[in-house]
Amino acid sequence: FELIYQRTKDQHDLLLVLDEPFAGVTDDFVPFIVERLNQMRVKHNILLVTNDHVATLTEMGDNTIRVSAIDRSRVSINKDRQVDRSKAILALSLGDEYHYKATNADLKFFFEVEIYANAALLGVVGFVIFCFGLFLATFWDSSQESAALVLVAGNIVAFFAVNPYLLALVAWRTAMREEAEALMHASKGLNTALKASLTVAIVLIISLIEYGVVNAVMGGFGSIRFWVAMLFDSVSMTFPLIALGLYTSLPFQAVEVFGSMPFLLMIFLSTTFSPGSGVPILKELRYVFSRFYFWCMIPGVQDDMEGCPAEALNFALLIITGSMGVVFFATYYMAVRCWSRRKQKKKADTLRKSLIDAEFHKLQTTLYGEKSMRRYRNAGMDHTMRQQADQSSSFSDGAFSPPGFVINESDEDSMEFEV
């Protein structure tokens, strides 16, 4: 409760819903919470749900909304006026939709939590040091004839070094979505983008380590083109886990299965483990894997690969196939997101139009008062909300109610909202 107070004290005109802020609170602590609520109601509309200290909250509340446990389709306003429940919920929200604006404080918070004090990153660092240290010791002084095997081993080590961090993205996504906007310290979109950027940076750093270690145990791969090949080969294998872990609602098992599928398909279809093999039609799928073009760059192996393009084209196709998963997913995600937003907006507009009538405007005037409706009408609301306020002004001139709502779960048969 105190965190919400601190987060909202510099903002204004929010509709804040607080569920059971008095739960487990002793009588001697009630005055403190009441004081905080009175401070918050000066700038915001407060909607409280509670089953404790009913008398105190009833005295504070400007209005009471009672929901019957028998018929939840309708509610009573101030114990005597029956209205549709959906209409009452819509009437409570007066103003524009809340949009969080990111600040430098959000970046600082992310850095302190996800980087500076993140034990998981230390675990990744320790695991990478262990894996590549063992790689150095066991592959030291490898011959050029074993280049393909050494590169495969380096790629596998790099993949499994970052894999624990990638699989932990699902739990991070779940916790973040539940807490970020509820605690009003960051937007979900910004947090997800920052986490994705951090994960890509980890993959980038590990690819640099892989490049250095491979050149340490075996010469001949010092060209920067080989590091680019290692990077995009790694990106093509790890990006599905990043995308599914952060930008979907799939459970852990589904993310692990579908996110690891490109790695498995690369083994079957890229023909890099058995050059030239495979049935005639199926083996043509090797051209969609960046690993194929990577192997077309390796001296002594490129001659065994079937259908390698010219050097310049081969390098370009390596980059394209390594990043096409990112492009396809980003396009699909943005298209679905835009379509979903339009669908939700259309549904909300249809519901709003069906509920806004003379009874709705009278209800808002009852809850907020004529003076409050005028204030919102002139506060820069969107067109729809301004129309609501304008139409409400034609009804009776009620007394101005200071913004503040309290919901009181009074007994087993009903639930009261002190507003």
Higher pLDDT, 43 or 419: 43
Q: Is residue 132 helix, strand or coil?
A: helix
pLDDT of res. 414: 47
Question: Residue 204 pLDDT more than 90?
Answer: yes
Q: How confident is the model at residue 378 (pLDDT cuts 50, 70, 90)?
A: low
pLDDT of res. 389: 46
pLDDT of res. 195: 93
H or E element that contains 266: helix 261-269
pLDDT of res. 177: 83
Q: Residue range 183-200: average pLDDT? A: 82
Question: Residue 413 pLDDT more than 60?
Answer: no
Phi-psi region of 324 (alpha: psi -120 to 50; beta: other; left: phi over 0): alpha
Q: How confident is the model at residue 36 (pLDDT cuts 50, 70, 90)?
A: confident
pLDDT of res. 408: 43
How close are the terminal C-alpha atoms of the chain, in Å? Answer: 18
Residue 340 has a CB neighbour count (10 Å cut-off) of 10
Give tens-digit pLDDT for 291-340: 999 999 998 888 889 999 999 999 999 999 999 999 999 999 999 989 99
Q: Residue range 77-88: average pLDDT? A: 77
CB-count exposure of residue 96 (10 Å: 0-12, 13-18, 19+): middle
Give dist(CA 367, CA 61) in Å, integer. Answer: 11
Question: Residue 372 pLDDT more than 70?
Answer: no
Return the minimum-mean-pLDDT range out of 68-72, 95-99, 243-247, 413-417. Answer: 413-417
Q: Residue range 392-403: average pLDDT? A: 37
pLDDT of res. 403: 43
pLDDT of res. 212: 95
Question: Residue 406 pLDDT more than 50?
Answer: no
Higher pLDDT, 317 or 146: 317
pLDDT of res. 97: 67
Give dist(CA 158, CA 203) in Å, integer. Answer: 8
pLDDT of res. 379: 57
Give tens-digit pLDDT for 149-166: 999 999 999 999 999 999
Query: Quick check: 390 and 30 in contact, CB under 8 A?
Result: no
Any alpha helices (H) in 19-146, and if so which ranges? 30-41, 54-60, 85-92, 104-110, 119-139
Most confident residue range from 30-44, 258-272, 351-365: 258-272
Query: Quick check: 275 and 308 in contact, CB under 8 A?
Result: no
Average pLDDT, the chain: 81
CB-count exposure of residue 239 (10 Å: 0-12, 13-18, 19+): buried
Higher pLDDT, 42 or 231: 231
Give me the percent of the chain exceeding a pLDDT of 90.
Answer: 39
Q: How confident is the model at residue 257 (pLDDT cuts 50, 70, 90)?
A: very high
**How does DSSP classify residue 216?**
H
Give one DSSP letter per residue of 299-360, joined into a string. TTTTTTSTT---HHHHHHHHHHHHHHHHHHHHHHHHHHHHHHHHHHHHHHHHHHHHH-SHHH
pLDDT of res. 129: 95
Most confident residue range from 175-184, 253-262, 391-400: 253-262
